[in-house]
Amino acid sequence: MVAAVEEMSGGGFIIKLHPGNEIVPTYEQTEAMRDGVLDMCHSDLGADMALVGKRALLLGASGYPAGTTSEEDFAWIYVGGGMDQITQVFKDYGYPAGWLGEGQEVFCYSHVPLDTIESLDGIKFRTIGFWAEVMGTFGVSVVTISGAEVYPAAEKGVIDAFEYGGAALNWPMGFHEIMAYMGTPGIHSPGAGHPLLTNFDSWNKLPDAYKAILQSAIEVYGNEWRASLIVDDSKALKMYEDYGTIRFTVGDELQAEIAKRSLEITMQYVAEEPGFREVWENKLAYIKLYKEGKNAITLKYSIYK
CATH code, domain with 114:
3.40.190.10
Residues 279-305, mean pLDDT to the nearest whole number: 96
Question: Residue 305: how many CA atoms within 13 Å on its side-chain side?
Answer: 4
Q: Say which DSSP state 65 is in.
A: T
Q: Say which DSSP state 9 is in.
A: T
Domain boundary among 150, 184, 218: 184
pLDDT digits (tens, 9 = 90+) for 25-68: 989 999 999 999 999 999 889 999 999 999 999 999 999 999 99
pLDDT digits (tens, 9 = 90+) for 64-101: 999 999 999 999 999 999 999 999 999 999 999 999 99
The answer to whether 217 touches 288, Cβ cutoff 8 Å, is: no
Q: Would you say residue 298 lies in a domain?
A: no
CA gap 36, 198 in Å, rounded? 9
Domain boundary among 184, 208, 234: 184
C-alpha 73, offset from chain centre? 10
pTM, to two decimals: 0.94
Instruction: Please tell me whether residues 51 and 195 are part of one structural domain.
Output: yes
Instruction: Please tell me whether residues 144 and 237 are part of one structural domain.
Output: no
Answer yes or no: is pLDDT of 179 > 90. Answer: yes
**244 phi-psi bin (left φ>0, alpha ψ -120 to 50, beta other):** left
- Beta-strand ranges (E) seen in the chain are 40-42, 95-101, 108-110, 124-126, 141-143, 161-162, 181-184, 193-198, 246-249
Domain boundary among 184, 210, 242: 184
The average confidence (pLDDT) of the chain is 96
CATH code, domain with 11:
3.40.190.170
Instruction: Please tell me whether residues 59 and 203 are part of one structural domain.
Output: yes
pLDDT at position 108, please? 98
Q: How far is CA 112 from CA 47, 160, 209, in A?
A: 32, 9, 55
Q: Would you say residue 302 lies in a domain?
A: no
* Torsion sign over Cα 235, 241, 244, 247: positive
pLDDT digits (tens, 9 = 90+) for 264-286: 999 999 999 989 999 999 999 99
Residues 13-33, mean pLDDT to the nearest whole number: 95
Q: Would you say residue 285 lies in a domain?
A: yes
Encoded amino acid at 216, one letter: S
Residue 274: asked if its preceding bond is cis (omega within 30°), the reply is no
Instruction: Please tell me whether residues 120 and 156 are part of one structural domain.
Output: yes
pLDDT at position 147, please? 86
Instruction: Please tell me whether residues 157 and 236 are part of one structural domain.
Output: no
Q: Would you say residue 297 lies in a domain?
A: no
CA gap 128, 126 in Å, rounded? 7
The answer to whether 77 touches 145, Cβ cutoff 8 Å, is: no
Cβ-Cβ contacts under 8 Å for 19 (sequence gap 6 or more): none
Question: How many structural domains compose the chain?
Answer: 2
pLDDT digits (tens, 9 = 90+) for 209-248: 999 999 999 999 988 999 999 999 999 999 999 999 999 9
Instruction: Please tell me whether residues 7 and 120 are part of one structural domain.
Output: no
Angle CA 151–249–153, to nearest 5? 15
Q: Would you say residue 301 lies in a domain?
A: no
**2 phi-psi bin (left φ>0, alpha ψ -120 to 50, beta other):** alpha
The answer to whether 65 touches 131, Cβ cutoff 8 Å, is: yes
Residues 140-153, mean pLDDT to the nearest whole number: 93
Instruction: Please tell me whether residues 146 and 207 are part of one structural domain.
Output: no
- Torsion angle defined by CA atoms of residues 220, 223, 226 and 227, in that order, rounded to the nearest 10 degrees: -100
Answer yes or no: is pLDDT of 142 > 90. Answer: yes
Q: Would you say residue 300 lies in a domain?
A: no
Q: Which residue, 106, 129, 177, 134, is CA-closest to 265?
A: 134
At 154, the pLDDT band (50, 70, 90 cuts) reads: very high
Angle CA 137–131–290, to nearest 5? 115
For 139, phi then psi, to 5°, come to 80, 20
Q: Which residue, 168, 299, 164, is CA-closest to 228?
A: 168
At 189, the pLDDT band (50, 70, 90 cuts) reads: very high
Q: Would you say residue 305 lies in a domain?
A: no
Q: Which domain holds residue 256?
A: 2-103+188-290
pLDDT digits (tens, 9 = 90+) for 201-211: 999 999 999 99
Answer yes or no: is pLDDT of 180 > 90. Answer: yes
261 beta partners: none
The answer to whether 77 touches 222, Cβ cutoff 8 Å, is: no
pLDDT at position 43, please? 83
Which residue did the predictor score with more confidence, 139 or 146?
A: 139
Percent of the chain surpassing pLDDT 90:
93
Instruction: Please tell me whether residues 59 and 194 are part of one structural domain.
Output: yes
Instruction: Please tell me whether residues 157 and 269 are part of one structural domain.
Output: no
Q: Would you say residue 304 lies in a domain?
A: no
Instruction: Please tell me whether residues 70 and 133 are part of one structural domain.
Output: no
